[in-house]
Structure 1
Amino acid sequence: MTKGFLFTAIFIFSGAFLALRAQTFQRTEAGVKTTFGSGEVEIRFYSPSIVRILKSPGPGLVAKESLSVTKTPEKTSFSVKQVGDEIELRSTEMIVVYNQENGQVSYKTSKENNLLKEQVAGASFTPFNDAGSSTHTVTQVFQLEKDESVYGLGSQQQGKMVQRNLRMNMVQGNTDDYVPFLHSVKGYGVFWDNYSPTVFEDNVKGTSFRSEVGEGVDYYFMYGGNADGVIAKMRDLTGQSPMFPLWTFGFWQSKERYKSQNELVGVVQKYRELGVPLDGIIQDWQYWGNNYLWNGMEFLNGEFYNPKKMVDDVHALNARMIISIWSSFGPHTKPYREMEKQNMLLNFETWPQAGTDTWPPNMDYPSGVRVYDAYNPLARDIYWKYLKKGIFSLGMDGWWMDSTEPDHLSFKPEDFDNKTYLGSFRKVRNAYPLMTVGGVAERQKAESREKRVFILTRSAFAGQQRYGANTWSGDVTASWQALQNQISAGLNFSLTGIPYWNSDIGGFFLSKFPAKLNDPEYRELYARWLEFAAFTPMMRSHGADAPREIYQFGKKGDRVYDALEKFIHLRYSLLPYIYSTSWDVTNKQSSMMRALMMDFASDHKALNINDQFMFGKSFLVAPVTEAMYIERAQGAGVPSEDFSKVKAKAVYLPRGTSWYDFWTGEKVGGGSTVNKETPIDIIPLYVRAGSIIPFGPKVQYAEEKKWDNLEIRIYPGASGSFTLYEDENDNYNYEKGAYSTITFNWDDVKKTLVVSNRKGSFPGMLKARKFNVIVAGEQMDGASNGQLVNYNGKKVTLKLKS
């Protein structure tokens, strides 16, 4: 078909679509069906606050089974009335209006407040040949308000917080994770349920999703009232987030790569000797040997001479271990041979390209590595069979699922014609990470419920929160701009409903720092990145080009080393707060990394800040994202350090509350900008008035000591509450009710703290304990300044000074 003929065909089709008008509609059990032009439209309630919109270019509606959506539509009470050209569907939570004259769908709150409108006749269908199958390219255009702030769409590196005035080509990549979910500050969300390459665009003409392949338009609109409510609806639709083990919230060390089991175990031993906390160590690639054995799911490298002993040695040092596994296999591996016989391997160029481990790749010896068809349930079975036998059986604690996009090199359009179990690769491209991560998670949980699934993955798609996966931002190149970009990347990712995200501390590649760890600017950057990571869902040091263990940055008494150690210890002291926040994520659909719009939607100044965020609902974090202590002599290459003058960072404190400087206890009013001094071991960190923060003991690993003597710090100025959550720290017994909660309620008027009756129980639970209660703003010097409470599970009331 020539370009001219294609344009004419589209024009005629669209014209017919606009010209005709439906005169009737059919009420269904869940909504209504009607026609528009030659096509059909269905509005289907999934709950009083979630509605699905289906549109087809001709007779018959989309009949696909969603890969992301797990919710079965619940019986929803709604009314339908027709006024003129408009059909109005009203539930208890929202109003959906369909205009039969122009095909527009619009959404309102139950109180008639406008939320979102489609553009008039905003759906379009362009004929498309998908690897021999006749289908369509589908588009839906919406009309946002001029100054409406919207978020989400996944984790990208452009540094934008508000996702307006941009064009985004959504195809999964190494450093970009795309989730077609739009989250508005007005309290609604839109999930575009399509897995093919998609363009999101926002400009003066409208806001649109356009996907290469689709039988029809298929999207969900949900109203939550506020950001937490929207996320709760998205998880209701696509799956809830399970608890991670406590140890995953400790400090993790990795690099590209430990070349022997002696080296790996030695790193854990060194941390223990230094007294620096560590909970996890990660083995990256090549433990299987050469690239022809890529991802063989066996230890075929002779330097790993006794893998069972290696795992046992790590466990004996009270640490956990996870290991790199990929979405592809080398031609000499057992999984490759079994899958190849059953046509379960895709045919496009992926990493690694050569069989030899050299750079650049020697293409005289192509690796033959191929990506497996993760859409095929039998292929996922084979994948788990070899993983279970070769590695899980050793006692491995979790998985580092690399290249879950997957890597797609030397891209050719015909690569998308690859046939998968679910159709062309083009049709299901962006859902690949959901399928491969889900394949491992589901099979491990079916195998054993004694160890919670924990997966570190490089890519994600809508619904992946249900699989116990923490997504990292990919192989970013170290720079100050890259560090700042991580903040908006993690926040927008969290706003799609997937709560667990992290990044390589220090950046993966050091190409901008040829002197590597000898460059004082890089050492400063690494320190600031680690300080930021202390307030993300996973605190993990990793990278290529130079090792990143703390002892590579000096020794005790050196500024950078001491700053690193300080923040690692701070992370561990906050574990009771972090683990309780993770329960809030699981139990109440909350988020750990929170964009300021989540808690301060009415503060216009807070809506587009891309270098600050809330960690849980109490801490405001403002990472330092520029060099402050570097002196560059004219013409010199490597700079020198200059700590002669303490620098500061400007921080906006949102209005509607008071704030406490975490480091000094100073109280500051909200709605103001402050300049906080930031020596190398300080970042701006503020606590919201009304917060109650539990602090844990000083430990070398997360489970070293019981929480039998916690400091409970109260930040007065507003009433507040906090629920301390505890369980067995691993396994799935919490799903059967094996956990306990203790709620602390602060009455700021009466200056009274009530520690509630403990609820629930679990094996090994503390029957009695001590709480050392301290009011912020005092000297805060520990037990000498606190009020000691003996607690045995029964309600206690304290009258405190503030």
Structure 2
Amino acid sequence: MKKLFPAALLSVGILAATVTQAQKASTAYQTQGQTVRIKTKAADLQIQVFSPNTVRVLRFPVGSKATKTSLSVNKAPDKTPFETAEAGGVITVKTALLTVSLNRQTGLVSFATRGGKSLLQEGAQDSLFVPTTDNGQPAYRVQQRFKLSAPEGIYGLGQFQDGIMNWRNHAVKLRQLNQYVANPFLVSTAGYGILWDNYSATVFRDNAAGASFSAALGDCSDYYFVYGQTMDGTVAGYRTLTGAAPMFGKWVFGFWQSRERYKSQDELLDVVKKYRALRVPLDNIVQDWQYWGTDNHYWNSTEFGNPNFPHPQAMVDAVHALNAHLMISVWPSFGDKTAIFKDLNQAGLLYDFKNWPTDGGVRVYDAFSPKARDILWGYMDKNLFSLGMDAWWLDASEPEQFDREGKMDSTQTALGTYRRVRNAFPLQHNKGVFEHQRAASSAKRVFILTRSAFAGQQRYGAATWSGDIQGSWEVLRKQISGGLNFSLAGIPYWTTDIGGFFTGKTYPLGVADPAFQELYVRWFQFGAFSPLFRSHGTDTPREIYQFGNKGDWAFDAQVKFIDLRYRLLPYIYSLSSKVTRQGYTLMRGLPMDFNADPKVFSIDNQFMFGPSVLVSPVTTAQYSTKGADATQKGSTDFSTIKSQSLYLPQSAGWYDFWTGEKLTGGQTISRPTPIDVMPLHIRAGAILPLGPVVQYAAEKFTAPLELRVYPGANAEFTLYEDENDSYNYEKGAFATIPLRWNEKTQQLSIGKRTGTFPGMAATRSFHVVFVKGTHGAGLGTTIKADRVVQYNGSALTVSK
């Protein structure tokens, strides 16, 4: 068969084992290194052992000479011991944890534990490889089917807007578009995951015939089976294969203000100054598009060509002087009068399909080309990074395009046709920016906000938001399942436009309409418990002072949740370290923590935020009514406090965060939802570290911490601290303090501190609170401590 991938992608592949004719005749399989090769009637099959819990299954058409190197997987197989055997027509490959079996008669692979417990089986299908063409050349559509067990739930695959949480008995097209993010990693409640390693548009479908991946193009069927035993272990296994998520600066977890767009540097600076004057916390201000000017021929020049930004260096310096950070928008497309366009065009590194904007000769660059990525960073570095920009907003990283078939599909990239590799565009685009900035400086951690993502993108310091969504209650509800499945697909950092990007159709009066204000406040509360907390949108401004003044309900409700978010930063930042070091997930679908409770498998409107906090967003209007028509404001009625039903998963119990009341798990309850309260419950057996109210994340980071202990079960938490930015943590410049609650002895142990870093406080004051029903545990900045202890790094014990 003719190679369909270009040499640039395929030159480093899996080399066929050299075996003698005698060996071929005497055995049904050959082993070389970590690979077992088996010929079946349908395909040349390879089973690669990556680790005791991870194997790769690779099939090529019989006699194919093609090879495959992954764009997503950057890990080589470990030298893992394994055993092979053949009996009764079945070839087995056994590791310390897994048994992988191939039935030679059917050609199907099955997976079981080392002890024989069945995990997953491939399902029969008409053909693995269906002939087609790729830009006139022979090619294949590739399919792979699996048989799932009846009770298991399956999650992940990326971010979608259909409100589906559990993919059982559903189908979805994995293709990058605005609002839709394809990441073909599937995780099961049975403790395993499947990474489908293909970069073309793929349909996933689960029905009576089984669960299947069907890719538009491919030279082979290529997937990784990860047996993590738990869903957390499986996601961690995915990150082991595809790369750890590096830490972000602590400021990233604070509050961001943005809009489409700030039209001058004075306007942008005034926003930061107003937040500081109001003493409302803020860590990031975002400059969206057109800082380069309004003529699309100069689209995305990466230069401040707009006369309303006459002194960009002074603007950046002023933001920093206000203890805030500045993020700026960069697209993967360029107007035909920009210098970067000319350089890319001269090198033949621009695509020729239609994209937005459609005027100005705007064209997308070839992100699959290392040279093109070099050119892009050269301009970003010279024009923006040199000014001290703190972060990148890589907008439209699908990329934005209109020729969704035909000309776009046949466009050539550095790695083959666009149709063949389209889903991996955001992976390569983010790779270029991350790797270049890391090479340029270690003084600040790379942070990228990007509209699309693909398997492995977490290793490039990238987070994703849910795209240009509409502002409505229905869409708010769907953000929850969208964000959860994105996180379950292995990429830990996600966010949404608070209030929805577009509001003009649903709330044409915007922020002046009390009906929109209620939607925004409830979305804001959800945003405060998303991995990243940001306000952004068009049609109406979103700054907090647009909603009134202190004493106005919409203003006060936002302040309450901004302050709560900043108080939670010790918890969030510690968990971000766990994300990096242990492959943890911050925004957690309920099956991750309550796998033994099948009632949670399809709950799509609640989630865990870290190990301790159960979040139940309010996703319906309770106090407002829309106006009779678009010209009229809605009205509000707060005379009666409304309530919301929610489910408390089976556990040792739960505490209402706002009242301290202890409740029994495994039941549906109703909780009051005044406009400034979103139901939050803390797991019995939790330790929740809280900091002071601050104006920005790094302020007062050595101040006393409150340690809230929620009795009912044993608990542990590791408090993590470092310099708050830079990559010195990779060199060991960080400290950890283990915290443990013993339910039997009713004692909190604050363990010996490990590690050190510049600026670390030698001693700390901990205000310990043993939560009980008499506490109003979230209604003030602090509550009275049961014990106050001084900690100098040595272990100590605090009794209740």
TM-score tier (shorter): over 0.9
2:766 — aligned with what?
771
2:795 — aligned with what?
795
- Per-residue CA deviations over 1:381-408 (Å, capped at 9, x if unaligned) read 0000000000000000010000000011
Distance 1:418 1:690 in 2: 56
CA apart distance, 1:31: 3.6
2:693 — aligned with what?
698
**Which residue identity does 1:528 align to in structure 2?**
R
Distance 1:82 1:385 in 2: 56
Match of 1:502 among 491, 495, 517: 495
CA apart distance, 1:120: 2.4
Q: Aligned pair 1:143/2:147, yes or no? A: yes
- Per-residue CA deviations over 1:592-651 (Å, capped at 9, x if unaligned) read 000000000010101110000000000000000000002468789543101111111111
Q: Report the more deviating stretch, 137-146 or 620-629.
A: 137-146
Task: Name the SS of the counterpart of 2:499 in structure 1.
Answer: coil
Distance 1:22 1:400 in 2: 59
2:396 — aligned with what?
403
2:458 — aligned with what?
465
Q: Report the more deviating stretch, 122-131 or 766-775.
A: 122-131
Match of 1:749 among 737, 744, 748: 744
Match of 2:109 among 93, 105, 109: 105
2:17 — aligned with what?
none
Aligned length: 768
Q: Report the more deviating stretch, 121-130 or 665-674.
A: 121-130
Distance 2:129 2:154 in 1: 26
> Cα distance 1:579–1:80, how it changes in 2: closer, same or farther (>3 A)?
same
Tell whether the 8 Å contact from 1:104 to 1:122 is kept in structure 2 after alignment. Answer: no
Tell whether the 8 Å contact from 2:282 to 2:696 is kept in structure 1 after alignment. Answer: yes
Distance 1:262 1:121 in 2: 63
Task: Name the SS of the counterpart of 1:343 in structure 2.
Answer: coil
Tell whether the 8 Å contact from 1:122 to 1:142 is kept in structure 2 after alignment. Answer: no
CA RMSD of aligned residues (A): 1.5
- Per-residue CA deviations over 1:739-771 (Å, capped at 9, x if unaligned) read 000111111110111111110000010001200
Q: Aligned pair 1:529/2:523, yes or no? A: yes
Task: Name the SS of the counterpart of 2:128 in structure 1.
Answer: strand
Q: Aligned pair 1:291/2:296, yes or no? A: yes
Q: Aligned pair 1:557/2:551, yes or no? A: yes
Tell whether the 8 Å contact from 2:515 to 2:626 is kept in structure 1 after alignment. Answer: no
> Cα distance 1:36–1:251, how it changes in 2: closer, same or farther (>3 A)?
same
Match of 1:164 among 153, 165, 168: 168
Task: Name the SS of the counterpart of 1:489 in structure 2.
Answer: helix
Distance 1:407 1:298 in 2: 21
Q: Which ranges of structure 2 fall in alignment gaps of 5 or more residues? A: 1-24, 777-781
Distance 2:784 2:105 in 1: 74
CA apart distance, 1:22: 12
Distance 1:393 1:122 in 2: 57
Q: Which ranges of structure 1 fall in alignment gaps of 5 or more residues? A: 1-20, 355-366
- Per-residue CA deviations over 1:179-216 (Å, capped at 9, x if unaligned) read 01111110000000000111111111221111111111
**Equivalent residues in 2 for 1:212-361, closer than 5 Å:** 212-289=216-293, 290-354=295-359
Tell whether the 8 Å contact from 2:769 to 2:784 is kept in structure 1 after alignment. Answer: no
Distance 1:429 1:389 in 2: 29
Distance 1:132 1:738 in 2: 55
Distance 2:461 2:525 in 1: 25
Distance 1:576 1:747 in 2: 22
Tell whether the 8 Å contact from 2:625 to 2:634 is kept in structure 1 after alignment. Answer: yes
Tell whether the 8 Å contact from 1:122 to 1:139 is kept in structure 2 after alignment. Answer: no
Q: Report the more deviating stretch, 63-72 or 383-392.
A: 63-72
1:593 — aligned with what?
587
Q: Report the more deviating stretch, 741-750 or 781-790.
A: 781-790
Distance 1:642 1:38 in 2: 67
Distance 1:175 1:247 in 2: 26
TM-score, normalised to structure 1, is 0.94
**Equivalent residues in 2 for 1:115-134, closer than 5 Å:** 115-121=119-125, 124-134=128-138
1:208 — aligned with what?
212
Tell whether the 8 Å contact from 1:401 to 1:456 is kept in structure 2 after alignment. Answer: yes
1:639 — aligned with what?
634
Tell whether the 8 Å contact from 1:22 to 1:101 is kept in structure 2 after alignment. Answer: no
Distance 1:647 1:471 in 2: 34
Distance 1:644 1:631 in 2: 14
1:786 — aligned with what?
786
Distance 1:392 1:552 in 2: 31
Q: Percent identity?
A: 50
**Which residue identity does 2:769 align to in structure 1?**
I
TM-score, normalised to structure 2, is 0.94
Match of 1:728 among 723, 733, 741: 723
Distance 2:735 2:450 in 1: 30
CA apart distance, 1:476: 0.4
Task: Name the SS of the counterpart of 1:72 in structure 2.
Answer: coil
Which runs of at least 4 in structure 1 moved beyond 6 Å after TM superposition? 633-636
Tell whether the 8 Å contact from 1:252 to 1:541 is kept in structure 2 after alignment. Answer: yes
Distance 1:619 1:783 in 2: 18
Tell whether the 8 Å contact from 1:506 to 1:543 is kept in structure 2 after alignment. Answer: yes
Q: Aligned pair 1:435/2:440, yes or no? A: no
Tell whether the 8 Å contact from 1:88 to 1:98 is kept in structure 2 after alignment. Answer: yes
> Cα distance 1:123–1:218, how it changes in 2: closer, same or farther (>3 A)?
farther
Task: Name the SS of the counterpart of 1:321 in structure 2.
Answer: strand
CA apart distance, 1:690: 1.1
Tell whether the 8 Å contact from 1:433 to 1:459 is kept in structure 2 after alignment. Answer: yes
**Which residue identity does 1:660 align to in structure 2?**
Y
CA apart distance, 1:376: 0.2
Tell whether the 8 Å contact from 2:686 to 2:715 is kept in structure 1 after alignment. Answer: yes
Tell whether the 8 Å contact from 1:123 to 1:217 is kept in structure 2 after alignment. Answer: no
Tell whether the 8 Å contact from 1:711 to 1:772 is kept in structure 2 after alignment. Answer: yes
Q: Aligned pair 1:676/2:671, yes or no? A: yes
Match of 2:711 among 713, 716, 724: 716
**Which residue identity does 1:346 align to in structure 2?**
Y
CA apart distance, 1:521: 1.6
1:44 — aligned with what?
48
2:571 — aligned with what?
577
> Cα distance 1:69–1:302, how it changes in 2: closer, same or farther (>3 A)?
same
Task: Name the SS of the counterpart of 2:285 in structure 1.
Answer: strand
Distance 2:66 2:73 in 1: 15
CA apart distance, 1:81: 1.4
Task: Name the SS of the counterpart of 1:628 in structure 2.
Answer: coil
1:739 — aligned with what?
734
Task: Name the SS of the counterpart of 2:39 in structure 1.
Answer: strand
- Per-residue CA deviations over 1:138-181 (Å, capped at 9, x if unaligned) read 11111112332100000111101101222212210110001011
Task: Name the SS of the counterpart of 1:120 in structure 2.
Answer: coil
Q: Aligned pair 1:629/2:661, yes or no? A: no
Q: Report the more deviating stretch, 760-769 or 107-116.
A: 107-116
Tell whether the 8 Å contact from 2:34 to 2:50 is kept in structure 1 after alignment. Answer: yes
